[in-house]
Amino acid sequence: MSDWERSSTARVTAPARPRKLAKVPFVELADGRLQGVVSSGSDIGRVYVSSVAAGSYTFACSTNNNRPCGGARGAFCNHIRALIGEAVLQYGAERVARCLKAETEAAAPDGEPTAQSITAVMSAARPPQGDTAAAAPVFSRFLRHLAYLELAPSTEPLPEMQWFPSAGAAA
Amino acid sequence: MVPLGGGGGLMRADSLTATIDGLDETLAAVDAFDLALEAGLLRPRPDRAEGLTGLAHAVAGTPLAARVAEAAGKAVAGAATEDHFLALAAARAALLGSAHDALTARVEEATGRPRGEESAPAHGERQAANLHTAARSWLCDLARRGWRGIDHDVVAGAARIVSAMLADPALRRPATLLDGFAAELAASCPGASLARVPARRWADLWTRAMLLTLPGASGTPTAETATGRLLPLGVDLQEHATAVQAQVHAVFEPADGSAPRLVRASVSAPKPDTVVGAGLWQLLRPHMSLLTALGEGRSMDLADMPLAGGDLIWSDEHARPGEPADPFATARVALATAADPATAPLDRHPARIAVPVFLEGYTVRKDDGALTFTVAGHPLAVDADRVPAAGPLTPQAIAGSAACIGLLRWDAGAYRVQPLAVETIVRKKAVAVHAGAWAGGTADKAGVRAEKAATDALAALRERAGRLLRK
Ligand SMILES: [Zn+2]
């Protein structure tokens, strides 16, 4: 076994990188998709739930009340483009490209992937439009995520957090 | 042996490099079990029999022996039940507990400090039997599948349990552990395609979660109260995607003139994964005035603050800001005579070792970006990765340092030091840089920028929460 395998504090996931949250408050790489929530530019009470599937790039976009997004007809809407951009800020382009199985090398042989190249590669594949079945669970995950802010802090010690050192230098 | 440098809280490094009898054998038994857990215990595992029976052999002659031998036999046959998994977890915890004790004895030799008395065991914890049962059953599922067999469906089973536990403040410990563990597993699915598995780490988290679901496991020790002067040394920040904890390490000087002791004060909060960096300090700051005192370089005066073992259970009502107190003066003068708190029984694990030390007169080596202090001819690895991002302490400052306040830890086979603060010499004057300098806020240019970005991010989330959560 390597030192990493025999470390109690081996780093498994990189922490989210800081980014502005006003436009795209929630992004995740889960269930074989890039998915998240994009705030409407015009209606402050409305959000769009957007997703792109890994490999097939099947995309979907609808409001939290399950109305289809007018922009997502036949091609990525601006919400999906914003989602990809913010995911790249939060996780890094390399991880987003890997999770989506977006092969950007062909587009830019020696360059690192970027939000632009990832979006371009996926768009060029003429991805199909999927149904919005995943929108409700993604939106409820977003609400659960927001609900963490409502939980009270505590001054009782949590000894288990010794296994989760600050990710300092990596951030 | 004479303590190095002859003064203050300096450390004897030779104790940390000598071999410890039996440690390698103990850890080999742990490793073999961890590999069995990686493969999973659903089906008969003759190929992993050694790892399972080896664990039983390692605890032969202890009160656990018979139960663990039976559990290992059932696990080899692919027929282990929840009670058997619990027995295996208890055996693994006992082995690492003995490793902890041996490693801690060496740390005591190195620091030359007295050890404090053990506090009374925990009592009166409220039960949440249903959630504990659900958590245990999820953990048993994981053990059957092994880390190589996890997929999104099995990992997602934790979400409902964690949500229910988070709603109950008495269950914050298991909730926070399971939440961090499950997020890590989810990011690693499917297990079958992992290039490598963090076997020790996941077995640690699994074992700890199993034991935390037992009645009474997560109760805090009976509290006394603390009245006197608190001299901060530094702060250790811990975080996973949805939780953060800051622990201030400090010397407590009781007002009644009794012996000084080392204590910790903790503050933690659940958080959305997008709150990071300076945002972590912003979440915690309003709930512990000690973070501000630390940033300002002040002591605090405590009156009847609850103290459980080595942990102050902080409440701002019992504290007020005191005189300026330089942590380096505290480390040089007060640290050497302060007693280290005894470790609670369930916390006996090498990863839990975090002992304040003061180092001076070392040389710094840098290989491939990794820093090593050479203290009186003995190498000591520097864990610069643990230094929080939102603060002025950088690897460069550590590399150029002449004195260091740190936490002595042990992981992956070696002792290491996590810097909390360093002193560098600039134009013949000592300049201190603290990892927690921004904990209470900052006027530093880069710090102000980070604070502003974090304030905006938190405000955006709170606005969304206000609008969408209460519909
Ligand atoms: Zn859209």
Give tens-digit pLDDT for B288-313.
999 999 999 999 999 999 999 899 99
Chain B touched by A106 (CB under 8 Å): no
Using CA coordinates, name the residue in chain B closest to A38. B464
Chain A touched by B467 (CB under 8 Å): yes
Task: For residues B311 and B215, give the distance between their C-alpha atoms in angstroms, rounded to a whole number.
Answer: 22
Contacting residues of B for A38, CB less than 8 Å apart: none
pLDDT at B5 over 50: no
pLDDT at A9 over 70: yes
pLDDT at A108: 64
Provide the domain limits for residue A75.
14-128
Measured in whole angstroms, how far is the alpha carbon of residue B165 from the centre of its chain? 21
Assess if residue A102 is contained within a domain.
yes
Flag if B183 and A161 touch (Cβ within 8 Å): no
Using CA coordinates, name the residue in chain B closest to A89. B274
Q: What is the DSSP letter of A170?
A: G
Residue B1's alpha-carbon distances to B4, B14, B357, in angstroms, are 9, 9, 18
Burial of B373 (0-12, 13-18, 19+ CB in 10 A): buried
Task: For residues B211 and B319, give the distance between their C-alpha atoms in angstroms, rounded to a whole number.
Answer: 34
Contacting residues of B for A13, CB less than 8 Å apart: 183-184, 187-188, 241
**What is the B463 CA–ligand 1 centroid distance (Å)?**
21
Assess if residue A147 is contained within a domain.
no
Flag if A168 and B465 touch (Cβ within 8 Å): no
Contacting residues of A for B417, CB less than 8 Å apart: none
The label of the residue with tokens 């609808």 reads A62
Q: Tell me the shortest Cα–Cα distance from A74 to chain B, in angstroms.
A: 29
SS3 assignment, position B275: coil
Contacting residues of B for A8, CB less than 8 Å apart: 200-201, 204, 349-351, 411-412
SS3 assignment, position B407: strand
**What is the B248 CA–ligand 1 centroid distance (Å)?**
46
Contacting residues of B for A134, CB less than 8 Å apart: none
Task: For residues B413 and A66, give the distance between their C-alpha atoms in angstroms, rounded to a whole number.
Answer: 54
Closest alpha carbon to A148 in B186, B277, B280: B280
Residue span(s) of chain B under CATH 2.40.50 come to 221-337
Residue B188's alpha-carbon distances to A21, B197, B284, in angstroms, are 26, 9, 29
A vs B: CB pairs below 8 A: 235
Angle, vertex CA A45, rays to CA A43 and CA A48, nearest 5:
80
Flag if A8 and B169 touch (Cβ within 8 Å): no
Assess if residue A6 is contained within a domain.
no
pLDDT at B134: 97
In B131-170, the residues whose Cβ lies within 8 Å of chain A are 152, 163, 166, 169
A27, A149, A150, best to mutate vs chain B, most B CBs in 10 Å: A149
Flag if B239 and A147 touch (Cβ within 8 Å): no
pLDDT at B368: 87
A160, A162, A163, A164, best to mutate vs chain B, most B CBs in 10 Å: A160
Assess if residue A164 is contained within a domain.
no
Scored b (16 or more CB within 10 A) or e, B17-47 reads eeeeeebeebbebbbbbbbbbbbbbeeebee
Half-sphere exposure of B441 (CA within 13 A, CB side): 8
Q: B397-411 pLDDT, tens per residue?
A: 999 999 999 999 999
Flag if B220 and A157 touch (Cβ within 8 Å): yes
**pTM for the whole thing?**
0.94
Task: For residues B242 and B461, give the distance between their C-alpha atoms in angstroms, rounded to a whole number.
Answer: 14
Q: How many domains does one find in chain A? A: 1
Q: What is the full DSSP assignment across B190-255?
A: SGGG-S---HHHHHHHHHHHHHHTSTTTTPPPPPEEEEEEEEEEEEEEEEETTEEEEEEEEEEEET
pLDDT at B285 over 50: yes
Neighbours of B192 (CB within 10 A): 11
pLDDT at B157 over 70: yes
Torsion of CA A102, A108, A113, A119, to 10 degrees: -50
Q: B442-460 pLDDT, tens per residue?
A: 988 999 999 999 999 999 9
Measured in whole angstroms, how far is the alpha carbon of residue B227 from the centre of its chain? 26
**CB-CB contact of B247 with A157 (8 Å):** yes
pLDDT at B92: 98
**CB-CB contact of A163 with B209 (8 Å):** no
Flag if A3 and B412 touch (Cβ within 8 Å): yes
Mean pLDDT of the A23-36 span: 94
Task: For residues A92 and A85, give the distance between their C-alpha atoms in angstroms, rounded to a whole number.
Answer: 10
**What is the B241 CA–ligand 1 centroid distance (Å)?**
27
pLDDT at B7 over 60: no
Q: In whole numbers, what is the pLDDT of chain B averaged over residues?
A: 92
Assess if residue A161 is contained within a domain.
no
Burial of B341 (0-12, 13-18, 19+ CB in 10 A): buried
In B270-329, the residues whose Cβ lies within 8 Å of chain A are 270-274, 276-277, 279, 283-284, 287-288, 311, 313-315
**CB-CB contact of B251 with B331 (8 Å):** no
Task: For residues B95 and B114, give the distance between their C-alpha atoms in angstroms, rounded to a whole number.
Answer: 25
Flag if A7 and B200 touch (Cβ within 8 Å): yes
β-strand partners of B265: B248, B312
Question: B271 falls in which pLDDT band (50, 70, 90)?
Answer: very high
Neighbours of B157 (CB within 10 A): 15
In B336-355, the residues whose Cβ lies within 8 Å of chain A are 344, 346-347, 349-352, 354
Q: Among A71-75, A88-92, B461-465, which is the least confidently predicted range?
A: A71-75
Please name the member of A8, A12, A150 whose beta carbon is closest to the beta carbon of B465. A150
pLDDT at A170: 38
SS3 assignment, position B259: coil
Packed helices B65-76 and B49-58: angle between N→C axes, nearest 10 degrees = 180
Flag if A169 and B276 touch (Cβ within 8 Å): no
Domain over B221-337 is classified CATH 2.40.50: yes
Question: B324 falls in which pLDDT band (50, 70, 90)?
Answer: very high
Flag if A143 and B411 touch (Cβ within 8 Å): no
pLDDT at B221: 66
Contacting residues of B for A159, CB less than 8 Å apart: 173, 344, 346-347, 352
